[in-house]
Chains A and B, each alone.
Chain A
């Protein structure tokens, strides 16, 4: 186990210390007192385990390809932004744009997330144990968002592909986001995906949201739809 103390270090020095431990063959790293610094644990491209013992700032775990990152506190904006593969688990809350534009991997936030979680995601899985804010899944193109709490306004606005499962209340669906029936495959998928993170699927009743596909092609006779969406 490699241990890094953040006090007295800049975010760059912390990241360099993480990479130095990885280069020395370390596979398990504990980072103490991260104090909500930004850009921690970004661009890690090996299957290393990194535990942040406290809160992190913006872009934690961004651009990762393979690491398993755990955050014991909260996370700021852009958690795991642009991640390719790996797992990021936040024990408390996350700010705006969690899992923005991820292409793969799994992002889990056990508390609440603020606006635009999963915006423009192109793959991967986002699991939120609490509530999600405004415009969750905005323009997502692929992948899955699973919400165990309630959702704010404009849920799934202008999504192209991908799907959102939600157990709580939907305050408002976004443009061209529609409710769809859950299949047996969906239920198996939910059970398999949630179980490793300690969520029991039987405790929730999910609704499924996907694209209505009305915005896929421009139809000038249906201009009103576009006017609202844009």
Chain B
């Protein structure tokens, strides 16, 4: 019974408040998933830098591990900043010639090391604990950005730790992340097939396969929308999931409508959440909400939505005279 939520801001004001909006939704859905909470935040960053979050994992030789990771990163990329706090090593790169090779190089330092997030628009943080805890530790409410997806987890089939928390960054592909509520019942069969093709799985969490499938489909030429559309038949079981790239956000619901997902769309934003209570907490009492039918897939291009935004004349006029 996880909670998932997504948000696209169409105006500068919505973008500035993205982190605060997402925190309100996460908090509202916290009781659906008390085990862990996480968020994938996307922003348009003018510097074009690459942002990486690595989980070096606790160990006696943690300092040596981090030093070795940094040494390897410096040989493959221009490292402009790094910070090691709690369970994350954060890296900012000016440039990198082969991101996937760098990811593999970092992870080959030790089997416990995982690259949790890698992208130019994406920053992903997740942790074991409540949304309040996520806010306390990472201050997500201060973040601004174009769009975001987030997750609160009630674990049913796999262990509770940082790696098994969601959203999942789709390893190997920059900026792609997913958050899932439900159970992919053909996961074991699909996993075996993927593993025979050499795909590495980082967790025992069935939701991890969503990002793997989407990236495979997009690498084979499908658009983001087509990949989500095809996934509805590819996966069995119950699912409502959200996925995002640097410029797009979308959701897919299983053909039986086993899992809830409620959508609110206004001139200023698009908000999606497992329960309406999150939309009310984030968007107030006025916006209309609806539950899309079973099997529905929808995607939005974040930048096109922003371009389509027509300012409300009444509101703008009122703002103009406000002190």
Contacts and interface: CB of A to CB of B under 8 A. Distances in A.
Interface residues of A, number: 27
> Main secondary structure on chain B at its contact with chain A?
loop
B293 A36 contact: no
A41 interface: no
Contacts of B276: 36, 55, 57, 74, 76
A152 interface: yes
A133 B294 contact: yes
A116 B275 CA distance: 18
B253 to A, nearest CB: 9
Nearest to B277: A36
A74 B290 contact: yes
Contact of A152 (B280, B285, B291, B294): B294
Interface string A31-42: 001011110000
A54 interface: yes
A59 B293 CA distance: 19
Contacts of A116: 257
B285 A73 contact: yes
A137 to B, nearest CB: 15
Interface string B196-208: 0000000000000
Nearest to B295: A134
Contact of A38 (B255, B277, B280): B277
Interface in B167-183: none
B275 A133 contact: no
B16 interface: no
Contact of A57 (B256, B277, B285, B292): B277
B5 to A, nearest CB: 13
Interface in B287-305: 288-295
B260 interface: yes
A177 interface: no
Given A35-B280, A35-B281, A36-B277, A92 B288 contact: yes
Interface stretch (A14-22, A107-115, A199-207): A107-115
A51 to B, nearest CB: 15
A115 B296 CA distance: 12
A55 B293 contact: no
A52 to B, nearest CB: 11
B289 to A, nearest CB: 5
B209 to A, nearest CB: 24
Interface string B238-267: 000000000000000001110010100000
Contacts of A54: 280, 285
Contacts of B281: 35
Given A33-B285, A73-B285, A115-B256, A93 B291 contact: yes
B272 interface: no
A144 interface: no
B215 interface: no
Which of A33, A35, A112 has the most B CB atoms < 10 Å from its CB? A35
Given A74-B289, A95-B260, A116-B257, A36 B279 contact: yes
Given A37-B277, A73-B285, A96-B291, 14 more contacts: A35-B277, A35-B281, A35-B285, A54-B280, A73-B289, A74-B289, A92-B289, A92-B290, A94-B291, A95-B260, A96-B257, A115-B294, A134-B293, A135-B294
18 contacts: A35-B280, A35-B285, A36-B280, A57-B275, A74-B288, A76-B276, A77-B260, A92-B289, A93-B289, A93-B291, A96-B257, A114-B292, A115-B256, A133-B293, A134-B255, A134-B295, A152-B293, A152-B294
Interface of A: 33, 35-38, 54-55, 57-58, 73-74, 76-77, 92-96, 111-112, 114-116, 133-135, 152
